[in-house]
Amino acid sequence: MSLEEKDSDKPDDSVGAIDRFISSKRWLHDHGYSKYGEYLVDKYAKTGRLFELYKTFVDQGIELLHPQKLAFIAGRAGSVDMFNLMRTHNFMTCEPIKTDMLSEYTHENTFIRRDFGVSGMWDPDADHLANNKTYCVRQFIRGAVTTSQTHALTWLHEHDLYEHRPEYITLAIDTKQFEAMNWFLTYTALTEFQELALSACIRGDMQLLNWLKEHDLLDIQYGKPFSFKYITPGVAIIDYVSKSLYSAQKIVFQWLMENGFGSLYTRDAVAHANDAGIRLLIDYGCTRYKLNTVGLTRLIIHKRWRIAILLLDHNLVEINDKLLYNRKCRLFLMAYCLLRRYRRKCRFRMLEEIRITPPHEIVSSFPGGSKYHEAHERVLLAMPGFTT
């Protein structure tokens, strides 16, 4: 019988409800793990009487729920007494839990996001009875984190039961439990927070960014402690914003600029940006770095011409003679000069002239090459098919 079918079967706050549940033998249903029992435990967890309920079942010798489920509920309710009862009555050594048993019980906020490389909050590799106590402790911690039950976390730490795992911080971020995150700041090495800035920018999490800034965890510059093993965080942040530029990332970029983190912008941001990203960089005056020769060559070879034109229009490319010895770059830059200088008045029957034009005459059309402008114009005017 489902809970929806008979509202009168739902437990109330009286001890009599527990007695009626025990006598009904509903706990024998579904391999000993009753959905009604799960509802009962969750109900009493919210009313603060979870320990009383569980003690009643322990006294009767009844194992109401799977230990990992129950440990999570205990952690979420912050019930250290109930967790201790589980330990003392050896209620942590039973058959490992299966993931499909949890699908109807858990809610979306208790799962760690898949894009962080973790399949779910329950341990799929809990296949040894001897390790089940360890997994129960982990579930208790996860439950405590999702509701910021810091007193329970402190109790575990004081009794040498707390073993830190990076996923706990990720779970606290996912469920917006900033009180739990403050606890991690006290009891966890600061190196655990290195990747928070990047994850916040990827997800557009402004609340997390403000929290990091408030705790001086966003001051990531070259030579500072907070640097990735493979790349400086600032580079990764701006690169991701420039490459993808979804609405959330645009907000992040603006937040970084407005809060004085514009120095995190680098040449790599230009190299990987899409056209919207380039426009955002230009709007915020990010012209400190220019795309080097290799970067522009790649853009042209891969036919990302719109971005290349944007960069050239805003003087975000280093133009030199070496660049023009690449035939594709040479043709592209000469065509660009004609298009930008004379718009649609030119015709493209001039490949041979482009081929023989000295590199410095092409360079003359760009900022910094003004002394060649006159010579360059003479070359253009002499081209067949060209009209002013």
What are the tens digits of pLDDT across the range 260-309? 766 555 566 666 667 777 777 777 776 666 777 777 788 877 777 777 77
Number of domains in the chain: 1
β-partners of residue 291 are 317
User: pLDDT value at position 244?
Assistant: 59
* In a domain? residue 263: no
Q: For residue 190, how many C-alpha atoms fall within 13 Å in the half-sphere facing its CB?
A: 9
User: pLDDT value at position 353?
Assistant: 52
User: pLDDT value at position 75?
Assistant: 87
What pTM was estimated for this model as a whole?
0.54
Handedness of CA 317, 320, 322, 325 (dihedral sign): positive
CB 298, CB 332: distance < 8 Å = no
* In a domain? residue 135: yes
User: pLDDT value at position 205?
Assistant: 78
CB 337, CB 376: distance < 8 Å = yes
* In a domain? residue 91: yes
CB 36, CB 26: distance < 8 Å = yes
User: pLDDT value at position 42?
Assistant: 63
* In a domain? residue 308: no
* In a domain? residue 3: no
The domain containing residue 182 runs over which residues?
A: 13-95+130-188
* In a domain? residue 82: yes
Residues of the chain with pLDDT under 50: 1-11, 13, 27-34, 94-130, 220-233, 342-352, 365-376, 379-380, 383-388
* In a domain? residue 343: no
CB 172, CB 180: distance < 8 Å = yes
What are the tens digits of pLDDT across the range 22-65? 566 554 444 344 455 566 666 665 565 666 666 666 666 555 56
